[in-house]
Chains A and B, each alone.
Chain A
Amino acid sequence: MDYEAVIGLETHIQLNTESKIFCACKADSWNAEPNTNICPVCTGMPGVLPVLNRRVVEKGVLLAAAMHAEIQPVSYFDRKNYFYPDLPKGYQISQYDRPLAKGGYLDVPQADGSIRRVTIWKMHMEEDAGKTKNDPLTGTRLIDFNRCGVPLIEMVTGPDLRSADEAANYLIRLRQLLRWIGVSEADMEKGHLRCDANVSVRQKGETILNTKTEIKNVNSIEAVRTAITKEIERQIREYQSGGKVEAWTLEWDEDTQTLKKMRSKETEADYRYFREPDLLPVYLTDEWKVKILETLPELPLERRARFVQEYKLPEYDAELLTSERSLSDYFEATVRAYGGDPKRVSNWLMNDVLRMLNETGQTAAELALTPTYLADIIRFVDAGTVNANTGKSLLQKVNVSGKSPAEIIQAEGLAKVSDDDAIRAVVEQVLAESPKEVESYKNGKTGLMGWFVGQVMKKMQGKADAQKARALLEKHLN
């Protein structure tokens, strides 16, 4: 019997605003000491009131637009009531029945070239809670309120994903999108992007939804993939052995790579939602919305398609060059500055610039090697002013010094030597110094030609015109 998985993901996205959603505290507390980014408002001292950070709405609108959701002109905040020590007000300010956006979807390309459209069931703004941990030394429970009031977008997909790989691909594409539009750093390890997975299985061809389990605490894309794979296998085994799947909440244990049962599904929690009386409705005027959407860039998949069409790039190149927005911007700027074959620019980027980015940890936008400089270098190589190897070494030199390629070629005398006499002198010197090799060559080891050319290049610091060196060597040896 064939089974298929039915998976929905619930994600919490930490927006990368400067300050928290309802107060002026710094939003990002990564590496900060506990309880250092807090104030009376985010710690819920008696008498405080929330004031909405407009940047949260703006980033929420950008995300909603990128997810093709219906952006609502009026939305409301509500109180979600529950007790927990890391929730200082005893309620979380969230959105319930009138959220910022409705609907939406994300198209996720799969490895086989197909596209899985993942629908969005829920998307709203809310504040984060703090963190608690047990201190085994003192036997006490410690609370860090730094994360209280950090802005989140909660986004829940429909049960549209059909395998662990699809779920992982969704998160990869979501992460790409979040960074692309600049609303979140989307680093799962740092909790900027958190994910719970709802998993069930059914026989292929069925449309019913079977009992699902919820997997929590999956903090990386690989963990999502592994945890879901294991849970799908477990559920299939249950059904095959005549058992049934119960609505458990499971916790992923990264250390042992296993799923542990946290609890049976308790009765539906009653959060007693009601409108947050301390905040006005969020009125998104047309004027404001237009201003926000002006900053919405072309989205990654659109740009990928355009790269294929407009620049005649192979799919592979287009995918790689649109993996990150500043890289794709960099590519286009270089193509414009270069004026020649875009594929040639793509080759330089994929072979050399990407390696440089990986080594330095920079983004393309941060390179001192600007698109104009890169275009200069490619043109110098095209024109034969420098040879290809020198061209490649220039990338590094320009990026370190910030000087223009022309300046460096001039200062270091890197221009290719095409003068026959100069090369001939070196050729004669090499041959004179290598009597054994000359003899071997003459006895038929013609493969040594490459070695001779290398020796000439070495003596001329790579500046020799290799073609000419080879021609002169052949002339002398034959």
Chain B
Amino acid sequence: MLSLTQAQTLLQRGEISSRELVSACLERIAALDGAIHAFLYLDADGALKQADEADRKRKTVAGEHMPLLGVPIAIKDVLTVEGMPCTCGSKILEGYIPPFTATVVKKLQDAGAILLGKTNTDEFAMGSSTENSAYGPTRNPWDLSRAPGGSSGGSAAAVAAGFVPAALGTDTGGSVRQPASFCGVTGLKPTYGRASRYGLVAYGSSLDVVGVFAHSAADAAVVFSVYNGRDPLDATTQDVPDANIVLETEASASLEGIRIGVPKEYFIAGVQSEVEEAVRAAIQKMAELGADVREVSLPHTEYALPVYYLIATAEASANLARFDGVRYGPRVSGETMWDVFYKTRGEKFGDEVRRRIMLGTYALSAGYYDAFYGQAQKVRTLIRRDFEQVFEQVDVVACPVAPTTAFPLGAHRNDPLAMYLEDIFTLPANLAGVPGLAFPVGFDAAGLPIGMQLMGRHFDEATLFRLAHRYQQATEWHLAKPTIDN
């Protein structure tokens, strides 16, 4: 089980070949993924071919400028890769093979990364446990009876289980950070507009971002540095200089001058005590490393949940309208054209997706728009202002990723609202568009990883990485690996 930077080093030195590395990953997947179910699609043959190609390129000048040359990576199955099935965890896209590759994936490929396959997700990224996948849940590598979090649970589990050193996920309301926390890995949700959404099958268009999982902040920074940047195919990517984050390798950098805000609204009743303790201990550690810690307030935090579930579902109700059985995916036959629409959508979408489409349709309907969608947009502005005001006082905000550690599979089966509450600490960053970084800071009594979240200013992923990296140089939580009993 190599980390991404370890793999990079060994590949560069010629101590291992990409074929050896990819083969080892494939063997581990073959041995363990039956139990975990991180992958929905594995392209073993293609990956080995790409590995041989990478090994050849290694000897060329071009290879010297490919930072991910020969490194295996997994892609959440809501991102398109030309020629690879893309199901979005849904029956409605069963058998669909997209004709184009997502920009972020293309950038990884151009940097030499090897795509092993597509990872499991809650259907259309709607969920916090990966249990809403139409193809069965993913299991948490730390405890196979528990959820890996979601919706990018497949990617988080794939990294935690050592199947790949890094994987892409997407984060609309916490779908990278929460599974990173549950699976004990580092996960970044970049600033909205920092990375292309072209080829990301949309859930909540104004919230969706492509994130990355890896074993450390340093590893995640390498991948993020490759895939971020403005894309002419995505009008919402911002025209800011590309991030190229190089973290210092010596453990000497001080955190002096960095101001950490601890928002009181994120340390509330209902948070598992071990989670609060571990997060506070990590903040204390950062203070010891030189950071300046103070309490701050994000007063509109409590509204993030209803605002999110109005805006995300409203956008989803339109985004998912294209799945009508006309052009791709299965078509359920019917008497009339409308009958085909109703039956295809009724039968092929899962419960949670239909629930959110209905919720969003309702929120946008005449007579309800002002009270729901319109009002939610106003409150979203207030939440964004909370962050603007806090970032005048501090450089980052530190808090738990989720109220609890990984919950058992099926724990929220009959209670969608309880599942929605999993996201209360991650939703605000999406609503405000700010970056968030989740990384492990301890374990609970059951041996489950605890994650902490840092949120920063728009386009200031660098400070989040710097802080987490320094913390990881001084601690070993991120090095812990699950023992997977098959």
On A, residues with C-beta under 8 Å from B are 40, 43-52, 79, 81, 83, 85, 88-91, 141, 143, 268, 270, 272-274, 277-280
Contact = CB atoms under 8 A, between A and B. Distances in A.
The listed residue with most A CB atoms (<10 A of its CB), out of B234, B324, B326, is B326
A278 B205 contact: yes
A44 B197 contact: no
Mostly, the B contact residues are loop
B233 A49 contact: yes
B413 interface: no
Nearest to B315: A277
Nearest to A270: B366
Contact of A277 (B206, B326, B327): B206
A91 B198 contact: no
Given A46-B88, A83-B324, A88-B327, A278 B235 contact: yes
Nearest to B206: A277
Nearest to B320: A90
Contacts, number: 105
B361 A272 contact: yes
Interface in B27-72: none
Contact of A43 (B198, B327, B364, B369): B327
Contact of B198 (A44, A47, A277): A47
Contacts of A280: 235-236
Given A47-B86, A49-B233, 10 more contacts: A45-B98, A45-B99, A45-B327, A49-B234, A79-B318, A81-B317, A83-B324, A277-B205, A278-B202, A280-B235
A282 B337 CA distance: 36
B407 interface: no
Contacts of B86: 46-47
Given A40-B100, A47-B80, A85-B337, A90 B315 contact: no
Contacts of A43: 327
B315 to A, nearest CB: 6
B314 interface: yes
B420 interface: no
B321 A83 contact: yes
Contacts of A45: 98-100, 327-328
A44 B320 CA distance: 11
Contacts of A90: 318, 320-322, 324
B93 interface: yes
A141 B100 CA distance: 27
Nearest to B373: A274
A49 B366 contact: no
B236 A277 contact: yes
B201 interface: yes
A43 B79 CA distance: 18
A49 B98 contact: no
B337 A48 contact: no
Given A83-B341, A85-B337, A90-B322, A272 B197 contact: no
A272 B102 CA distance: 29
- Interface residues of B toward A: which range? 35 or more
Contact of B326 (A40, A143, A272): A143
B199 interface: yes
Interface string B83-108: 00010100001001011101000000
The listed residue with most A CB atoms (<10 A of its CB), out of B93, B320, B323, B324, is B324
A268 B324 CA distance: 24
B340 to A, nearest CB: 9
The listed residue with most B CB atoms (<10 A of its CB), out of A46, A274, A277, A278, is A46
Contacts of A49: 197-198, 233-236
The listed residue with most B CB atoms (<10 A of its CB), out of A40, A49, A83, A278, is A49
A287 B86 CA distance: 44
20 contacts: A40-B99, A45-B99, A45-B328, A46-B328, A47-B201, A47-B202, A48-B100, A48-B198, A51-B233, A83-B324, A88-B322, A90-B318, A90-B321, A91-B318, A268-B366, A272-B361, A272-B365, A274-B314, A277-B206, A278-B202
B232 interface: yes
Contact of A51 (B232, B315, B341): B232
A143 B324 CA distance: 14
Contacts of A270: 365-366
Contacts of B233: 49, 51
B21 interface: no
Contacts of B320: 90
B342 to A, nearest CB: 10
B200 A47 contact: yes
Interface in B193-213: 197-202, 205-206
B93 A46 contact: yes
A83 B236 CA distance: 26
A118 to B, nearest CB: 30
Contact of B322 (A46, A141, A277): A46
A46 B322 CA distance: 8
A98 to B, nearest CB: 14
B410 to A, nearest CB: 29
B199 A47 contact: yes
A81 B197 CA distance: 22
B104 to A, nearest CB: 11
